[in-house]
Each structure stands twice: as C-alpha cells, then as structure tokens.
C-alpha cells in the first residue's frame, strides 16, 4: 500500500508533498521499477486533491526522471539508476540539515550529536 | 480567452432596490476549479443561479462557450429543487429524458444505496443532496455549479461527495464552481479563490498566489505603518494581524514573525475584514 | 417535459370528468334536481368546463410551486419560451380534447337538453383559460390567482361589449342605457348577422390579446424571484396591447356598424330613403339628413301618407313623420306583445293585435286606434276568442289581418295565419268569430279580399267567393289553373282600398287579367319562363312583373296595365335567388340589394335614386 499523505498545515505545497512521498517510496524500494503509480483520479479522490495537483506531481517526477508516463495507460516507475543514488544522498542531506538545526537549537554541539547518533543506532 | 467556457459580462441582479449582483464581469475556463466565498447575503447564490439560468439578470449577460449548454451544466442548488412527490426512479427517468442522458443506470456512490421507490420528499438532506448529485453526474457535466450544500452533509457523505466531484474533474474536465465556507476537507480542490461581498468580487486570485500573499503575525510592539492589515483577531488573548498583500522584504521586519496561513483561515480573514469595514462605516 | 405535463394534466382531467359524471347522480339522490340524469349532466358538464379551464390555466406552475421544483424546471435545458410552450401546450391540448368531447355530447344530446352549442360555449371558457395562464407567472398564491383571473375575465367581456357599443355610438348611433343592459341581439332583424358575429369576436376574442401578448413578451424575464423586470415588462406589454386591442375593436365595430343590409332601407312613396340602423333611424334627403334617435325595427313597417308606423325595441308602436322626423308613441306594448310586431292601416284607423290590452292578461285582442289623434280617443278593443287563435292560454299561431269591411253597421276583420295552416277567420265587432271556409285550411298569403270578394289561390285553381245574403261566403267561380300575385308588402298594405276593375296575376306561364265584375280570366301576355316570374300588386291599380332570367343572371321589371306588359328596367348581373341578391319592392320604388352595395330605383320608371 502506498504511504502518501498530505498535511494541509504544512508550508509545503501539496504536489511537493506527493513528490516527496513518492520519492521515499521509490528509495525505500516499496515502489520498484515497472510498478504502476496509482491512477491520478484514485489518488486525487483519496487525498481530496484537485486532479491537476496530482497530475502536476507526476509530471514533475517524469521530468526529474523517476517516472514514465504512457498516455492512456497511466504512470509507471522507471528510474534511471544514477538518479536513485543522487536522490538518496540529497534527501539524506536534507534530513540531516533539519536534524542538526533542531539539535543545535537545544544547545548541543557536534560531539553530542555524534554520541547520540552512535548510541541510538546501536540500539536499532 | 479562447479557453473560456463561461463568460459573465456586466451581470447585475436587483432585488427590490438593492443590487444582489453588481455589474460583475468575470470568466471561467474549462476544467477550472473555483471556490467562491464571502459573507452571508453577499450574492453568491444569486450569482450561481444566474450561471445556471434560474435567474434572468436585470443587466448583463452570461455567455456559454465551447458548446456549453444547459444540458451539460449541473446545478446543485442549496434548495435542492426537484419534483418532491416523485420516486427516485421517476425523477431519474425524467432527468435522463430531459438532459439526453444515454446511460440507463444512475451513477451510485459507494455504500449509499437509495431504494428507487422512495420518494424524494422522504429523503434526508444528505441523501437528497447525494441523489441530486448523482443526477448531475449522469449528465457528464462540463460545468458543475455547487451552492452551499457541503456543510449539511455528515462526514461520510461529504467524503463521497468530494470523491464524486474529483472524479468528474478528472473524467469530464468539469469546471467546478463551488460556493463554500468549510475548507477542512476541500482546501486543496480549488485552484482559484474568489470572495464576493455586496454583489462584487473583492478578491479573485489563484490559491497559490493567495497562500503566498497572505501571512499573519502576532502583534508585538510597534507595527510598521507600511504593512497593510487585512484583519485583526478580536481576541485579547492572542492579537494577530493578517497581512495582504504580503511582500517578501517584510519578513522579519520589526521582529515580526510572519507565518503561513491555510486557505480556510485566509478566507475567514477576508470575510472578517469585510464585516469590520461594514461596521466601521 | 411535455409528455410529463400532458400525463399530469390528463390524469387530473379524468378525475374532473369522473366528478362531472358523479355530481348529477348526487344531486338527484339528494333531491336537489328532479330531472332525468342527462338533463342535469348537461349544465354540470358545461359549467364544469368553465371551472376546469380556469383550473388548467391557474395550475400552470401548480406542481412546480407545490413540490418546490420551480428552480429545477427553470434550469432544464429549455429556453423560457420552450418551457412555456410545453406547459401551456399540454394544457391547451387537453382543453381541445374537452372541446371535441363537448361537440360529441352536443351532437348526441344537446338539442334535447338545451345545451350551449360548443362554439358559443368555447367563447366563454377559452378566454378564461388564456387569462389565467397569463396571470399564472405573476401570482404565486393559487386561490388569489383564480380569483383575479375570474375577476379579469368577468370584467373584460362586458367591457369589450361596451366598447363595441361605444364604437357603434360614435358612428352616430344612440345607445339608451336600457338597451345596453339588455343584449341587443334580439331577433335576427335588428342587427345584421355579420355584425353579430363580429360582435362575438370582439367581445370574446379581443380581450385575450393583451393577456396573451403580455405573457409572451415578458416570460423570458421570468425567474424564481419576484422580479421587478418581469412585472414591468408584463404590465408594459399589457398596456400597449390593451390599447391596440381596444383600437382594433373600435375600428372593427365601426366598420361593421356602417353597413346596413338592404332590408334596413325603405323608400317612401314620396321617394325619401329611410334607413333603419340598429340604434337610430336616418331619413336621407337633400341638405341635412334627419336623424331620429330611436331604435326602430324595419320589420313590418306601415306607410300611410307622411307617416311611417314602426315598432321600437319594446314593441311599442311609433309613428314617424318623415317630413320633419318627429316620432310619437301611438301604442304602448307590454311584454306579452313581444311577438306581435305588425299593424295595419285603413281609412282613419290603425289596428294591431295585442295580448295585454284586455283582461285576462295574454288574451289576444284586436286594438283599433284613431290614426290622426290616437290619444284623443280610447282605442277600440275586441277580444278574439277562437281555438285557432289560442290554445291553453298561449298563442296558437301568429295572426295577420288581410281585409276589413262593414256589414249592416258592424265592422268585421279578416284574419289569416302564419305557420300552421288554418282556415282564415272573420272577427266581428261584437266579438263573434267565424271560419270563412269551415273545415278547410289555407296557407299564408293565399286569400285576398278585393271588391268585397274573396280570392283564394291554390296551386292548381283560383276560387272566387262572394258573400251570402245570410252571412258566410259561397263559391261563385272557380278557374282551373293557378293564378297568383303578391302584394308589394303582403301585410302592410291598406286593408280596404277603393274598388278596382281588374287585377293581374301570373297564370301558368302567362300573365292574365281577372275582371272583377265578370270574374273572367283573360291572358294578356306570354312569359318567357314561368319559373322565376312573379307579379307584384300595388293596390288598387299598379301591377308589376318581375322576371329573373336564367341566362346571364339578369332581372327584368315590367309594368302591367290595360296596355299590356311594358319593360321598365333590366338589371344586369342580378341573379335573384343567389345569396346576396334581392329585389325588394317598397312604397316609392324598388331596392336592388347586391352583396357589395345597395341600389335604389324610384317609381314610376325605375330611375336610379341617389341618396
């Protein structure tokens, strides 16, 4: 099942949120090459979005090289391999940046952060 | 211009002496999703009725373009006007015949099973709304005019309603013009937001632009004179001011922390501002 | 939409018909009406049609308003005109079907149960339908709509009737208020038939025009709110078309009032043309025409000297002086005298029949008045009691006088009958009545009193009777072939002319002379054709021959005298007997009525008379 949700209170526009969610699904391997993305209509209905919004997300994904749209039959996952790694790295960097912002606002320094990461990772 | 499906020119509707719709000129494009909000009595329902043909304007015209005709306009009025004495079956057959609908079976909604022998007047408001919507859907409408009906639906029916509308938007490229105040579930549907006050459209912007141009900040100390205040909350506990149109260079000015505002709140701010202006006069 | 409307309205109409069928039965059972079922059904059905046409019109938006579907109906894919057409069309179709039903009912039972003819009935309810349809968009409340429609309908028809009369009046005709209150179409004589039809059209159809026009022109502005634009347009169109319809009605009524039929003209012996118009009498003469503001009938007028005796609308006998136009009432009639519209002049008297002059009321009696000064003397009243005249207190047949004389100091009058063939009677001054030909009956106008002789025309004989010494008449001569003539006006001639030597008449295919001393018949001229020939007698000594030739359609009028038959005039293109052509002999000349105009010719040589 696709884990896509849109948070109306987020400052991020809905279509961006869809793109993010789909990228995460692809990166995590839950969506593989050759899988069909949910039809625009069904996703729009599920999330109570304007179909154009979903269409825009799919179109952007297609432009960024993650998705292939076949007219009349839908949208299919078709990732060019280098794209995946690059994506993973850029998303990870984004997460790290956000985490570090929050961590430093607590008054911690880089050493505290490293210790915390190792400690928690050991438990996982 | 050539993408317009509905053109309204200088539309004026008077009730006794008062102009309910006051020289409105506006156009709607094919497949556009519009929400019309505004204070009660602003003329929104009257405007919609003009588009549907229930009201003949005193001045001005409503032009149907791109082959638009009453046959493919679906009008869901807040009066839910139908021949109440009929059974659902009879009403469907009549609607089918009048609107030239080819399909013999009425579109239904998931989990909603209305017995064809029931009479319309015996339906609950929610059932009646959904039934009426099903009639309109069968028309494969190019334009859907929806008056304030959502608030009367329970959450389940509301969801079915929205799903049906979204389906139409995708399948028929339906332009949806909806009068609505309840944005909880519908905030993402419209691409265009129009706010009507005293018969005129005081605001007509795309949702994206609007979300960018409306910000709010808690009032603390001196408020810069050049930042326009759309509306100020009335509570003493939390004094916030909504700003429109917002300019990027004001972010952080005078220590003000400008936050984004969701669509529902934006609309509330506009309406509130209109009411306050009315009182001030 | 149309099919739905038609189904709805038809269903309602079936209920209506069921009620119509049931109501008479209920009335009879409740002893409200005593008659047989069909006799009660007829007025219930016809009255019901009126009520139903109001309902059909007023319920134009009935279902929409009742079931809150007005907005839905207005947003259906029709223009306003299309919507209106469907709603009204379905109702009009049902009304038309009911009209056809009323034809069937009328053809089947109408005559036995005094039903209105379907066309006349439709003139009442169809305007009501149109009026209520027209007002339906304006008035939301059904009861109010019905009441206003009824009021409008009730007002417009008398109003347009008054308008018609006003137009007639403006042509110079006087309308006494009492006449205006009554329907002036009494008797086909008083008003030409085309006027009556035109009146019906004006009174019943013209009022529809402003209502229909207002609706058609304003409906495109109709919507669910009480729209000022719609009401304004409606009222404006209504006012404009009201003025237009009034103008049209006015012009039409004026045009109609102008034409008088040939029957309305009379040429006096002094060759004055008297025109009897519906509400006035005009005496044409050089200089200024004389106008008498009274409604007199041209039917059965009597000319004596400078006077014309005629009846007015109340059957009163009026004496008109053609020299100066003065009118004087000679006899005041009562309502029982309505059917007795004749009078006869002889010597210094004028006589008429009346049913109100003697007691008991409605007993027929002969009233004889002094002609010169009727007010100075009481009239002589002679009751006429005889089964030929009266049966069970009712007039058995319409009588006329055809002779009078005096025997042994007592006057008598000879009475003939219209309609049923009965033998003529002789009424004596003392009230005795005897049959002239006991046991025999005579068709009207076939017995003449000349020189004290009775001439009796049969289709194959001429019988001459002379008075017995001891009363009664005996046959003295019988000629075996038919001999006949007509008086120029059978009944209004003088009853006792001076004695004549001879009379002329049509004898088979010849003109013959009957010598009144020898009682011999001698042929004097050969007719070209027997059919279409007639001898007209102006007692005592003028006779004319009228021949309508079959070829070319011309008519010849000749004078008959001691010197034979002399042609006076031949009228081209005057095929008498064809509709619209008539030759009328009058006191001072003849009138040739053609469909498009009326020509007048004066005696003695039938020169054309301009008037």
Record the tokens describing residue C180, joined without a space.
């205006």
Q: Which domain does A89 fall in, by range?
A: 82-123
Interface test with C, best of B58, B59, B81 (most C CBs within 10 A): B81
Residue B179 has pLDDT above 90, yes or no: yes
| C215 Rama sector, left if φ>0, alpha if ψ -120 to 50, beta otherwise | alpha
Record the tokens describing residue C599, joined without a space.
């020509």
Per-residue pLDDT of A39-82, as tens digits, reads 999 999 988 899 999 999 999 988 888 888 888 788 888 887 66
Task: For residue C119, give the 3-state DSSP assignment.
Answer: helix
Cβ contact (<8 Å) for B16 and C220?
A: no
Taking the C-alpha atoms of residue C41 and residue C592, their distance in angstroms, rounded to an integer, is 49
Nearest in space to C606 (alpha carbons), one of C594, C554, C597, C591: C591
Residue B25 has pLDDT above 90, yes or no: yes
- Pair A18, A65 in one domain: yes
Q: What is the pLDDT of residue C17?
A: 92
- Pair C109, C23 in one domain: yes
Name the pLDDT band for C525 (thresholds 50, 70, 90).
confident
Per-residue pLDDT of C581-608, as tens digits, reads 778 888 788 888 776 677 888 888 888 8
Per-residue pLDDT of C42-61, as tens digits, reads 888 888 999 999 999 999 99
Query: With an 8 Å Cβ cutoff, is B229 touching chain A?
Result: no
Q: Are B12 and B59 in contact (CB under 8 A)?
A: yes
**Nearest beta carbon to residue C76 from set B16, B70, B86:** B70
Classify residue A9: in a domain, yes or no. Answer: no
Q: What is the pLDDT of residue B141?
A: 94
Classify residue A112: in a domain, yes or no. Answer: yes
Classify residue C200: in a domain, yes or no. Answer: yes
Lowest mean pLDDT among B209-213, C252-256, C395-399, C435-439: C252-256
- Pair A47, A88 in one domain: no
Cβ contact (<8 Å) for A44 and B169?
A: yes
Q: What is the pLDDT of residue B234?
A: 74
Q: How many structural domains is chain A composed of?
A: 2
> For residues C23 and C550, which has the higher predicted lDDT (pLDDT)?
C23
- Pair C17, C99 in one domain: yes
Contact partners for chain A, using 3 or more CB pairs closer than 8 A, are B
Tell me the average pLDDT across B37-55: 90
Taking the C-alpha atoms of residue B92 and residue B118, their distance in angstroms, rounded to an integer, is 12
- Pair A74, A19 in one domain: yes
Query: With an 8 Å Cβ cutoff, is B189 touching chain A?
Result: yes
Task: Find, in chain C, the residue whose alpha carbon is nearest to that of B55.
Answer: C223
Classify residue C184: in a domain, yes or no. Answer: yes
Classify residue A2: in a domain, yes or no. Answer: no
Classify residue C306: in a domain, yes or no. Answer: no
0.80 surpassed by pTM: no
Residue A124 has pLDDT above 80, yes or no: no
Name the pLDDT band for B52 (thresholds 50, 70, 90).
very high
The 10 Å CB-count burial string (b at 16+, else e) for C79-96 is ebeebbbbbbebbbebbe
Name the pLDDT band for C579 (thresholds 50, 70, 90).
low
Q: What is the pLDDT of residue B36?
A: 94
- Pair A58, A113 in one domain: no
- Pair A46, A86 in one domain: no
How many beta carbons lie within 10 A of that of residue C385, not counting itself? 13
- Pair C79, C146 in one domain: no
Tell me the average pLDDT across B83-99: 92
Lowest mean pLDDT among A100-114, B16-30, B133-147, C345-359: C345-359
Task: Find, in chain B, the residue whose alpha carbon is nearest to that of A13.
Answer: B208
Min Cα separation B32/chain A (Å) = 10
Tell me the average pLDDT across C75-82: 92
In chain B, where the domains are located: 4-205, 207-280
Classify residue C357: in a domain, yes or no. Answer: no
Cβ contact (<8 Å) for B85 and C67?
A: yes
Tell me the average pLDDT across C540-561: 80
Of chain C, the percentage scoring pLDDT greater than 70 comes to: 85
**Could you tell me the CATH number of the domain that includes residue A69?**
1.10.10.10
**B198-206: long-range contacts, CB 8 A cutoff, minimum separation 24:** B198/B22, B198/B42, B198/B43, B199/B13, B199/B19, B199/B20, B199/B21, B199/B22, B199/B24, B199/B42, B199/B43, B200/B22, B200/B23, B200/B24, B201/B24, B201/B26, B202/B38, B202/B270, B202/B274, B203/B270, B204/B26
Min Cα separation B15/chain C (Å) = 7
- Pair C144, C115 in one domain: no
Q: What is the pLDDT of residue C491?
A: 47
Of chain B, the percentage scoring pLDDT greater than 90 comes to: 50
Residue A84 has pLDDT above 80, yes or no: no
In angstroms, the Cα distances linking A3 to A26, A38, A45, C296, C577 are 11, 11, 15, 106, 106
CATH of B4-205, one of 3.30.70.2970, 1.10.10.10, 3.40.50.300, 1.10.390.10: 3.40.50.300
Per-residue pLDDT of C360-401, as tens digits, reads 777 788 888 887 777 777 888 888 888 777 776 677 778 888
Interface test with B, best of A6, A51, A57, A75 (most B CBs within 10 A): A51
**Nearest beta carbon to residue B84 from set C67, C71, C75:** C67
> For residues B174 and C337, which has the higher predicted lDDT (pLDDT)?
B174
Q: What is the pLDDT of residue C201?
A: 67
Chain C residues whose C-beta is within 8 A of a chain B C-beta are 1, 3-4, 63-64, 66-72, 74-78, 80, 220-225, 227-230
Q: What is the pLDDT of residue C143?
A: 93
Record the tokens describing residue C596, joined without a space.
């498009």
Name the pLDDT band for A9 (thresholds 50, 70, 90).
confident
Size of interface A-B (CB pairs under 8 A): 48
Q: What is the pLDDT of residue A85?
A: 78
Classify residue A66: in a domain, yes or no. Answer: yes
How many beta carbons lie within 10 A of that of residue B124, not counting itself? 12
Name the pLDDT band for C173 (thresholds 50, 70, 90).
very low
> For residues C492 and C465, which has the higher predicted lDDT (pLDDT)?
C465
Angle at which helices A51-63 and A14-28 pack, to 10 degrees? 50
Min Cα separation B214/chain A (Å) = 13
Taking the C-alpha atoms of residue C60 and residue C130, their distance in angstroms, rounded to an integer, is 11
Nearest in space to B146 (alpha carbons), one of B68, B237, B240, B52: B52
Q: What is the pLDDT of residue C341?
A: 77
Record the tokens describing residue C158, joined without a space.
């008398």
Classify residue C605: in a domain, yes or no. Answer: no
Min Cα separation B54/chain C (Å) = 5
> For residues B73 and B276, which has the higher predicted lDDT (pLDDT)?
B73
Single residue among C237, C259, C281 that ends a domain in this structure: C259
Q: How far is CA C63 from the centre of its chain?
A: 48
Spatial neighbors of A48 by CB under 8 A, at least 6 apart, are B159, B162, B163, B166, B185, B186, B188, B189
Single residue among C234, C259, C284 that ends a domain in this structure: C259
Q: Which domain does C18 fall in, by range?
A: 1-119
- Pair C75, C146 in one domain: no
- Pair A119, A95 in one domain: yes
- Pair C10, C66 in one domain: yes
Residues of B in contact with C229 (CB under 8 A): 14, 56, 58
Q: Do B and C have ≥3 inter-chain CB pairs under 8 A?
A: yes
- Pair C88, C152 in one domain: no
Classify residue C535: in a domain, yes or no. Answer: yes
Per-residue pLDDT of C98-145, as tens digits, reads 999 888 888 877 666 666 777 778 888 899 999 999 999 999 899 999
Residues of C in contact with B58 (CB under 8 A): 227-229
Record the tokens describing residue A113, joined without a space.
């952060």
Classify residue C553: in a domain, yes or no. Answer: no
Q: What is the pLDDT of residue C186?
A: 36
- Pair C176, C91 in one domain: no
Min Cα separation A119/chain B (Å) = 36
Classify residue C528: in a domain, yes or no. Answer: yes
Per-residue pLDDT of C213-248, as tens digits, reads 999 999 988 988 877 888 999 999 999 998 898 888
Nearest in space to C283 (alpha carbons), one of C270, C274, C292, C295: C274
Task: Find, in chain C, the residue whose alpha carbon is nearest to that of B13.
Answer: C227
Task: Find, in chain C, the residue whose alpha carbon is nearest to that of B53.
Answer: C75
Interface test with A, best of B166, B216, B246, B260 (most A CBs within 10 A): B166
- Pair C111, C173 in one domain: no
> For residues C96 and C228, which has the higher predicted lDDT (pLDDT)?
C96
Per-residue pLDDT of B188-229, as tens digits, reads 899 999 999 889 998 899 988 988 898 888 887 778 888 888
Q: Do A and C have ≥3 inter-chain CB pairs under 8 A?
A: no
Min Cα separation C70/chain B (Å) = 7
């Amino acid at each position: 099942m696709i884990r896509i949700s849109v948070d109306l209170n987020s400052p991020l526009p809905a279509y961006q949120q869809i793109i993010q969610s789909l990228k995460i699904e692809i990166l995590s391997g839950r969506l593989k090459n050759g899988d069909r993305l949910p039809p625009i209509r069904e996703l729009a209905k599920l999330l109570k979005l304007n179909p154009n919004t979903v269409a825009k997300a799919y179109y952007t994904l297609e432009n960024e090289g993650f998705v292939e749209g076949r007219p009349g039959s839908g949208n299919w996952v078709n990732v060019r391999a280098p794209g995946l790694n690059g994506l993973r790295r850029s998303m990870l960097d984004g997460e790290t940046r956000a985490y570090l912002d929050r961590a430093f606002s607590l008054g911690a320094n880089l050493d505290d952060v490293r210790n915390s990461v190792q400690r928690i990772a050991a438990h996982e | 211009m050539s993408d317009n499906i509905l053109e309204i020119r200088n539309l004026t509707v008077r009730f006794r002496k008062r102009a309910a719709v006051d020289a409105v000129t506006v156009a709607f494009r094919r497949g556009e999703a519009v929400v019309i909000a505004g204070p009660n009595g602003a003329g929104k329902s009257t405007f919609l009725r003009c588009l549907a043909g229930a009201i003949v304007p005193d001045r001005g015209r409503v032009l149907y373009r791109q082959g638009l005709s009453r046959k493919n306009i679906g009008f869901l009025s807040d009066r839910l006007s139908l021949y109440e004495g009929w059974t659902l079956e009879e009403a469907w057959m009549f609607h089918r015949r009048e609107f030239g609908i080819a399909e013999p079976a009425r579109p239904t909604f998931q989990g909603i099973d209305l017995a064809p022998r029931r009479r319309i007047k015996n339906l609950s408001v929610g059932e009646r709304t959904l039934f009426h919507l099903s009639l309109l859907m069968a028309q494969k409408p190019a334009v859907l005019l929806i008056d304030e009906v959502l608030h009367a639906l329970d959450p389940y029916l509301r969801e079915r309603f929205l799903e049906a509308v979204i389906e139409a938007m995708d399948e028929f490229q339906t332009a949806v013009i909806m009068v609505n105040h309840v944005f909880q579930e519908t905030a993402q549907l419209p691409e265009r937001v129009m706010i009507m006050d005293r018969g005129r459209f005081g605001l007509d912007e795309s949702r994206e632009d609007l979300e960018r141009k409306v910000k709010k900040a808690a009032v603390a100390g001196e408020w810069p004179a050049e930042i326009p205040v759309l509306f100020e909350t009335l509570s003493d506990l939390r004094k916030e001011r909504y700003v429109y149109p917002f300019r990027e260079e004001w972010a952080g000015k005078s220590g003000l922390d400008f936050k984004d505002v969701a669509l529902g709140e934006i609309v509330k701010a506009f309406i509130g501002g209109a009411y306050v202006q009315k009182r001030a006069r | 939409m149309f099919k739905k409307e038609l189904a709805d309205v038809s269903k309602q109409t079936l209920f209506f018909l069921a009620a119509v069928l049931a109501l008479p039965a209920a009335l009879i059972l409740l002893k409200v009406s005593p008659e047989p079922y069909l006799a009660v059904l007829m007025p219930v059905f016809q009255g019901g049609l009126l009520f139903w046409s109001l309902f059909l019109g007023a319920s134009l938006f009935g279902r929409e308003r009742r079931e809150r579907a007005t907005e839905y109906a207005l947003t259906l894919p029709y223009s306003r005109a299309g919507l209106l057409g469907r709603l009204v069309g379905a109702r009009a179709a049902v009304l038309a079907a009911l009209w056809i039903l009323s034809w069937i009912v009328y053809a089947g039972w109408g005559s036995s149960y005094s039903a209105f003819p379907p066309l006349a009935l439709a003139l009442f309810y169809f305007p009501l339908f149109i009026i209520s349809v027209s007002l339906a968009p304006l008035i939301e409340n059904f009861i109010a709509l019905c009441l206003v429609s009824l009021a409008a309908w009730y007002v417009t028809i008398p109003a347009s009737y008054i308008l018609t009369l006003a137009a007639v009046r403006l042509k110079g005709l006087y309308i006494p208020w009492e006449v205006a209150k009554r329907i002036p179409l009494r008797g086909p004589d008083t008003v030409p038939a085309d006027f009556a039809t035109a009146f019906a059209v004006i009174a019943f159809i013209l009022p529809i025009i402003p209502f229909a026009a207002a609706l058609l022109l304003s409906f495109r502005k109709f919507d669910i709110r009480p729209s000022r634009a719609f009401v304004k347009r409606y009222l404006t169109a209504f006012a404009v078309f009201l003025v237009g319809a009034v103008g049209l009605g006015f012009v039409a009524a004026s045009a109609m009032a102008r034409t008088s039929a040939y029957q309305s003209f009379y040429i006096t012996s002094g060759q004055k043309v008297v025109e009897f118009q519906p509400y006035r009498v005009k005496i044409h003469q050089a200089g200024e025409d004389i106008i008498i503001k009274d409604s007199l009938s041209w039917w059965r007028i009597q000319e004596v000297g400078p006077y014309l005796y005629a009846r007015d609308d109340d059957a009163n006998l009026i004496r008109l002086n053609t020299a100066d136009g003065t009118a004087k009432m000679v006899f005041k009639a009562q309502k029982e005298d309505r059917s007795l519209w004749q009078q006869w002049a002889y010597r210094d008297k004028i006589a008429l029949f009346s049913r109100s002059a003697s007691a008991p009321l409605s007993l027929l009696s002969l009233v004889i008045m002094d002609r010169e000064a009727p007010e100075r003397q009481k009239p002589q009243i002679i009751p006429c009691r005889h089964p030929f005249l009266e049966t069970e207190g009712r007039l058995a047949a319409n009588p006329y006088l055809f002779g009078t004389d005096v025997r042994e100091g007592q006057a008598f009058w000879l009475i003939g009958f219209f309609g049923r063939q009965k033998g003529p009677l002789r009424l004596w001054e003392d009230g005795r009545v005897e049959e002239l030909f006991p046991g025999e009956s005579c068709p009207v106008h076939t017995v003449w009193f000349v020189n004290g002789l009775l001439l009796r025309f049969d289709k194959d004989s001429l019988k001459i009777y002379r008075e017995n010494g001891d009363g009664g008449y005996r046959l003295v001569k019988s000629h075996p072939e038919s001999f006949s003539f007509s008086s120029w006006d059978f009944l209004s001639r003088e009853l006792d002319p001076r004695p004549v030597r001879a009379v002329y008449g049509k004898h088979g295919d010849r003109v013959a002379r009957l010598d009144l001393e020898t009682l011999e018949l001698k042929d004097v001229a050969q007719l070209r054709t027997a059919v279409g020939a007639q001898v007209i007698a102006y007692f005592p000594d003028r006779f004319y021959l009228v021949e309508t030739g079959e070829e070319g359609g011309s008519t010849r009028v000749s004078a008959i005298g001691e010197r034979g038959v002399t042609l006076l005039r031949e009228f081209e293109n005057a095929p008498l007997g064809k509709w619209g052509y008539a030759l009328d002999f009058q006191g001072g000349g003849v009138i040739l009525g053609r469909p498009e105009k009326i020509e007048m010719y004066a005696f003695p040589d039938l020169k054309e008379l301009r008037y």
